[in-house]
Amino acid sequence: MNKDPSIDAYIHKSEDFAKPVLEHFRALVHKACPNVQETIKWGFPHFDYLDMPMTSMASFKKHCAVGFWKAALMKDSEKLIRMAKTEEAMGHLGRITSLKDLPKDTVILKYIKDAMKLNEQGIKLSSKTDPATKKELEVPVDFMKALKKNKKALKAFEGFSNTNKKEYLLWVTGAKTEATRLSRLDTAVEWMSEGKIRHWKYAK
């Protein structure tokens, strides 16, 4: 298998619960796509095929996430995108805390092969589906008001990528209670004033 030592190191540094999850998903990727290209992008493992991004995995303090670059174009796109919008999960397979949380191997292999086929066909994401395309985000009034009270936080937020901005917004607005929302907002402003992204604790 074409293994990148940096991904071995990433898995080794991950939490104990995450290691079997990451290793299992990695093995399935290689099983479905023997010519996969491993690499680290944005601090976590990615699997490319034919020099195009295909899928990725990430480990956090209490959960793992798996993503498919062209999920919007895959056969089960609606299901994958719906899963990605859950409060705690950043990937397309939900919040993964153990092997039991993963779909059956046959399902994962189907997803990987579907993603492979899109790359083989040379299909690219359009500007409407490209995850890297920046869209104007709706920032709540109280969120922006809190930022304007802290110049460093505001400057950091404005300099963040669309993805990093969205992670903070989803975290704050996803709070179940007003007290939790205010607490998260205070923490978010503090972290941003220090130039930190939402998941700075788990960045490898």
Q: What is the mean pLDDT of the chain?
A: 86
- 128 belongs to a structural domain: no
- 136 belongs to a structural domain: no
Query: Does 116 lie in the same domain as 150?
Result: no
- 125 belongs to a structural domain: no
What tens digit of pLDDT does each residue of 185-203 get? 999 999 999 999 988 876 5
What pLDDT was estimated at residue 85?
A: 58
**Res 135 pLDDT > 50:** no
The count of structural domains within the chain is 2
- 95 belongs to a structural domain: yes
Structural domain for 84, as ranges: 5-120
Which string of DSSP letters, residue by residue, matches the chain? ----HHHHHHHHHS-TTHHHHHHHHHHHHHHH-TT-EEEEETTEEEEEETTEEEEEEEE-SS-EEEEETTGGGSTTHHHHHHHHTSSS--SSS--BSSGGGSPPHHHHHHHHHHHHHHHHTT----TTT-TTS-------HHHHHHHHT-HHHHHHHHHS-HHHHHHHHHHHHT-SSHHHHHHHHHHHHHHHHTT--TTGGG--
What pLDDT was estimated at residue 31?
A: 97
Q: pTM of whole model > 0.85? A: no
Query: Does 103 lie in the same domain as 14?
Result: yes
- Cα–Cα–Cα angle for 66, 78, 37, rounded to 5 degrees: 35
Identify which of 123, 141, 33, 142 has the alpha carbon closest to the alpha carbon of residue 75. Answer: 123
What tens digit of pLDDT does each residue of 10-64 get? 999 999 999 999 999 999 999 999 999 999 988 889 999 999 999 999 988 888 9
